[in-house]
């Protein structure tokens, strides 16, 4: 049994990062962690969402997923973020959420949290790695401890080999090109394992 509280915080327009977050959730629960799966609040104008049928469908299907709150960050020992690339950077929806964390940061409440990031893009070299690194920049300012997957499991090789965090390419139909399910699950288990070491060390 794990004694770790894990917040999985994602943003997804068309479902890819939601699916990755769900795989992470399943593995984390199997590991015995207490898990909250929450989304960064949608900020795009309704007209933009309506203009893309896949976006509209996903938006409506995930209406019931709770929106990420600062309390989730305080509650959790570890965080997994999953975000699509936006020109090699974070989606504004996730950035907006991160930009509300100044108070927690000031109080030192984000220090020593164990974090890990995942991403997706339309092209195989479309900015997956850079997006995760951009996310990690904020995590370093928090004083969080990054638990990157590296090449700690064979699943990294089968999924495209991104050592910064699991990432996937999405084709024009919205299908994932690489099989990343096992890599996502390994990353979730590893995040919980590292969080367990950190938590035990802080007692």
Ligand X SMILES: Cc1cc2nc3c(=O)[nH]c(=O)nc-3n(C[C@H](O)[C@H](O)[C@H](O)COP(=O)(O)O)c2cc1C
Which residues of the shown chain bind ligand X in the complex (CB under 6 A)? 12-17, 84-88, 120-123, 126-127, 170
Q: Rounded to the nearest whole angstrom, what is the least distance from the CB of residue 2 to ligand X in the complex?
A: 27
Instruction: Specify the residue, 31 or 167, whose C-beta has the smaller distance to ligand X.
Output: 167
Cα 157 to chain centroid, rounded: 20
Nearer to ligand X (CB atom), residue 72 or residue 129: 129
Residue nearest to ligand X (CB): 126
Closer to ligand X by Cβ: residue 19 or 31: 19
- The tokens of 202 are what? 């802080």
Q: How far apart are CA 45 and CA 7, in angstroms?
A: 27
Name the minimum Å distance from CB 9 to ligand X. 13
CA 161: distance to chain centroid?
17
Q: How far is the CB of 182 from ligand X (least distance, A)?
A: 19
Determine the Cα angle at 25 with ends 91 and 180, to 5°.
70
Q: Which is nearer to ligand X, 52 or 152 (CB)?
A: 52
Q: How many CB atoms lie within 10 A of CB 158?
A: 14
Q: Which long-range contacts (CB under 8 A, 24 or more apart) does 151-154 make?
A: 152/186, 152/190, 153/182, 153/183, 153/186, 153/190
Between 40 and 121, whose beta carbon lies closer to ligand X?
Answer: 121
Q: Output the smallest distance, CB 118 to ligand X, in A.
A: 10
Least distance from ligand X to the Cβ atom of residue 167, Å: 9
């Amino acid at each position: 049994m794990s004694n770790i509280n894990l917040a999985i915080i994602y943003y997804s327009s068309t479902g890819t990062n939601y699916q990755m977050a769900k795989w992470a959730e399943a593995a984390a629960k199997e590991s015995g962690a207490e898990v909250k799966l929450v989304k960064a609040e949608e900020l795009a104008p309704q007209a933009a969402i309506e203009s893309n049928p896949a976006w509209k469908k996903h938006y409506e299907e995930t209406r019931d997923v709770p929106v990420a709150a600062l309390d989730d960050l305080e509650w959790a020992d570890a965080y997994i973020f999953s975000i699509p690339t936006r020109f090699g950077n974070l989606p504004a929806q996730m950035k907006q959420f991160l930009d509300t964390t100044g108070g927690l940061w000031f109080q030192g409440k984000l220090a020593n949290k164990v974090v890990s990031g995942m991403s997706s893009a339309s092209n195989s070299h479309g900015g997956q790695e850079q997006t995760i690194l951009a996310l990690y920049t904020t995590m370093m300012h928090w004083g969080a401890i990054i638990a990157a997957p590296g090449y700690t499991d064979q699943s990294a090789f089968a999924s495209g080999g991104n050592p910064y965090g699991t990432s996937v390419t999405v084709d024009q139909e919205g299908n994932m090109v690489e099989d990343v399910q096992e890599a996502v699950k390994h990353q979730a288990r590893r995040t919980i394992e590292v969080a367990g070491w950190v938590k035990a060390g802080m007692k």
